[in-house]
Amino acid sequence: MTSALPRITDDQRRARLGTRHRLAAGARAAHAEDAVRSVLLLHATDPATVYVSTCARLAEPSVAEVRRALYTDRSLVRMPGMRRTVYVVPRELVHVVQRSSTDAVAVTQRRVLLQFLASGGYDEAWLERVEADTVAALAEAGEATAIEMGARVPLLRTQIRVAVGKPYEANQGVSTRLLFTLSCEGRIVRAEPQGSWLSSRFRYTTMPPLPEIGKTEAKAELVRGWLAVFGPGTADDLKWWTGWTAADVRHALAAVRAVEVGLDDGTTGWVLPGDEEPEPAPEPWAALLPALDSTPMGWKARDWYITPALREHLFDRMGNIGPTVWWNGRVVGGWSTRPDGDLAWRALVDLDPEATKAIEAEVARHASWLEGTHITPRFRVPLDRALSA
């Protein structure tokens, strides 16, 4: 007769979230690197997400602290990762993300790029020539934008006519696709953008050589990191988060000797060996997280921290989450900045006075470092649109 699985309740999962994701006041990080490590890596499709996600987890939030880690010390690296998504990754994990996930994305991107080029009469030899010239020019310049690289490598400015004969026929440049493919292959990397911290006009630089690691080992290391900060989670959660096959997930879980635990919804979750026991709950905490923050995007199954009825207000049609307000490990509302710089929020559930007071204090904490900055998320959700009007 087999013994019952160790159980981790939803309350215990929410307690872990507050502490491990450094959202509870007593758990906040002193440095940007530790804030990012608390969720393994950050979604970076929207430049604002990187700064707001990090500052939400810092004891003393500031744009300067995030910029230091990203562009002065370069201890955080912006790179494509799982499912073509761009992430900010701690430098020590770059080779793990590259080998476990981005290498496979690069193969697909190169195939798509070659098909695009063939439609304009350009072959693989032409591509290799342009790539070599681009990497060499970037190494000589140190850093450059796509436009600046086009001045050094004129073939980067090549245009190809697409959708010929259709109403939406147009020219498309090769530079965006080519630079993204080089990024996926780990040959170049995004550097500091032109403009403000909200800008996506990135400069590029060459990527330093990465430590060697095999694909199987890299997948295991990524899963080990995910379980440390997101565990317990199900195999389906991991499959969704990584974009891997079910077999890849099973093999990685076995490689790290993951332990099965029972969850409140009746499914089986996984944790690292020795991580089955409950941990002390932090003091009551409130948090404001941006669109696409790594915490709400860390699991496929989300009912334990967001009531299904709230989703129509906080998600777009593609499943992207907007800015959220949290109380003790649950999503309780949303927030937005208005054009005049004011930060507005709205509860979507009934809150007691303690929760309201704590959220208002967190609103003031964010407003102090935002200093009137108006943030428009790249993916808008209904509540964000309503609050920002």
Digit-coded pLDDT (tens) for 192-239? 999 999 999 999 999 999 999 999 999 999 999 999 999 999 999 999
- pLDDT confidence of residue 1: 38
> Quick one: average pLDDT of 350-373?
97
**Could you tell me which residues come within 8 angstroms of residue 241 by beta carbon, excluding any fewer than 6 positions away?**
82, 226, 230, 233, 297, 298, 299, 300
pLDDT attached to residue 133: 96
- End-to-end CA, the chain: 61
Domain contains 145? no
Q: Is the pLDDT of residue 79 over 90?
A: yes
Is 248 inside a domain boundary? no
Nearest Cα neighbor of 96 from 195, 202, 272, 224 is 224
- 54 belongs to a structural domain: no
pLDDT band at 3 (very low <50, low <70, confident <90, very high): low
Q: What mean pLDDT is predicted for residues 249-254?
A: 98
Segment 267-284 mean pLDDT: 95
Please say if the pLDDT value at position 278 is more than 60: yes
Q: What is the mean pLDDT of residues 267-275?
A: 97
Question: Across the strands, what pairs with 161?
Answer: 171
Residue 325 domain flag: yes
Whether 152 maps to a domain, the answer reads no
User: Hey, is 333 helix, strand or coil?
Assistant: strand
Is residue 269 within 8 A of residue 230, CB to CB? The reply is no
- CA angle in degrees (0–180, nearest 5) for 191-197-203: 25
Q: Which residues form the domain of 357?
A: 286-388
* pLDDT > 70 in the chain, percent: 99
Q: Is residue 183 part of a domain?
A: no
Judge whether 229 lies within some domain.
no
Quote the number of domains for the chain.
1
SS3 category, 296: coil
Average pLDDT over residues 370-384: 95
Q: What is the pTM of this model?
A: 0.95
Distance CA 174, CA 114 (A): 10
The larger pLDDT score, comparing residue 63 to residue 166, is at 63
- For residue 198, the one-letter residue type is L
The answer to whether 121 and 200 have CB atoms below 8 angstroms apart is no
Domain assignment present for residue 108? The answer is: no
